[in-house]
Chain A
């Protein structure tokens, strides 16, 4: 159960340029991920779109384990800037959790 929190979505979205709106949940990203990260990126992106801050933060480990290799991005049919979105999320966590 999660309560949609548009404020979180806005905080991540607007200043930092997170954009996964075009994602259509096809799953190519998960299939090609060399780390086999199943949360990344589509499930995680849904959490951001719906504003599930706690679920995003609970998966900080996973967010930092991404290699930023862009294999997913190269294969994304919807041209989502996946790696950039992961960076944006790391920025958010750096600022809001680790205060750096």
Chain B
């Protein structure tokens, strides 16, 4: 018999659970388990009234373990850990059992089966709780400084934002000057202000701030440490490089994007009179009067959209995703061209027009201004050949004219190409940031944690995360500022103590655990004359990858020890008479 004193609560979830799971039967079964002192059901366990009741039970019965069988831990783990804490019970002595998603919702056709499964899951939860210890969160002090990698519009704005909150910033830019892509742009939608002026404004703001230090021609070459306290080495200059060591609490990555380069000959690219949208923008921005190409006035333009994007994964080099900024950018470029030469004829050959949100107004303006839109199917891309007078002949099956073949003769073809991930493998290796399947940096959760990465303390923003226009980039930069600042202003971080721990008497360093660790959290140290493994509490995520790799079984995971997991399995299969399955 156990001398533990455990309280078990089975939730109806207002019928979500009790419509399919016989919660009274589950309560009865739980009450028979060794160590269980209190077993109750509740209509809504998360309600304030039931939380109060649990707290009273904990105090009156001197409970030293708590189990709630309700919904998923994602929803209410922290709710009930907090209940335990408020009642004076160590929160890590709490176990959540998910009988809603795993029983009632999953087995609506089998009430008896759902109830039986709930009983077994609750027994397993009790078994784990019997072996819980009190754990304390790991506290790591944070350094009130941040590193921003990349000084384009997102990085610059992030630096200013952090500075204003009182966090010192090191700004590292690979190129010789700051400003990134936007510095090279003239008029930008939707406000019509020049990109280079926006950047000048930001640069002057940075100049006013003493707590921002910028390095240009610089790259991050090493990173060690962890959230709140990173040590970063930066190489400044290429020929006679100098190395600068920085100590920062968080890192914001704003390294931007590359532009897709069409293959030689793709839609006639490289043969003259065919340019990318970027090249066309340069041409527009640099022409005072009517735009000219190769000494001749451009009287007509055909834009071909989705060149290199939204293609099957089988198409070489092409991207599967929609780059989303390009429809807006191309339509806006056509308005600029129209401003400079009101008599220009422009044809937009698109697959789908995705001028989303308020940028729909740009599309309306382009229609009003006389741009002609033609639509082609993915399988019937436009074809380009030489036309009379050195012009180009573009032919396309226009779906808007009911699939008729349409030909046009134009002075210039503009290929509307997507943003693609920047090739910065060295930085990826140094920071150990994960890439998504499109090759851009990946956030933890697209909605709820959009700028955080799996590396605690490292944030991403701007177009290094995926195609974004500049206003979206700046919005995400400021989100990253908020996240970085909320970490650094507090002065410390609390980490879950559910981490790997090495038995120092058993371990004889072989390095297998270090190889298994995806976070680089395990290193070697001397202990009583022997070499053993040590886990950095600041870096370990408690994934458990190291445990099975250890040939001596010297690693255990706090909160999910081998003993606990074995006990849970035994409890799950107890009614079939199996014991000590492992």
Contacts and interface: CB of A to CB of B under 8 A. Distances in A.
The answer to whether A and B interact is: yes
A46 B400 contact: yes
A12 interface: no
Q: A3, A4, A13, A50 — which one has the most chain B CB atoms within 10 A of its CB?
A: A4
Given A22-B367, A46-B400, A1 B372 contact: no
Contact of A50 (B364, B367, B406): B406
A47 interface: yes
Interface string B390-406: 00000000101110111
B345 interface: yes
Chain A interface size band reads 10 to 19
Interface in A26-59: 43, 46-47, 49-50
B401 A50 contact: yes
A77 interface: no
Interface of B: 300, 345, 347, 364, 367-368, 370, 372, 374, 398, 400-402, 404-409
A2 B367 contact: no
A49 B407 CA distance: 13
Nearest to A43: B402
Contacts of A13: 370
A50 B372 contact: yes
A17 interface: no
- Does more than half of chain B's interface fall in helix, strand or loop, or is it mixed? strand
B407 A1 contact: yes
Closest 10 pairs between A and B when the two form their complex, measured CB to CB? A4-B408, A21-B367, A6-B345, A1-B405, A46-B401, A3-B407, A25-B400, A49-B372, A2-B406, A21-B368
Contacts, number: 42
Interface string A44-82: 001101100000000000000000000000000000000
Nearest to A5: B408
A47 B367 CA distance: 16
A43 B364 CA distance: 20
Nearest to B300: A6
A5 B543 CA distance: 66
B431 to A, nearest CB: 46
A47 B405 contact: no
B201 to A, nearest CB: 36
Contacts of A50: 372, 374, 398, 401, 406
Contacts of B372: 4, 9, 49-50
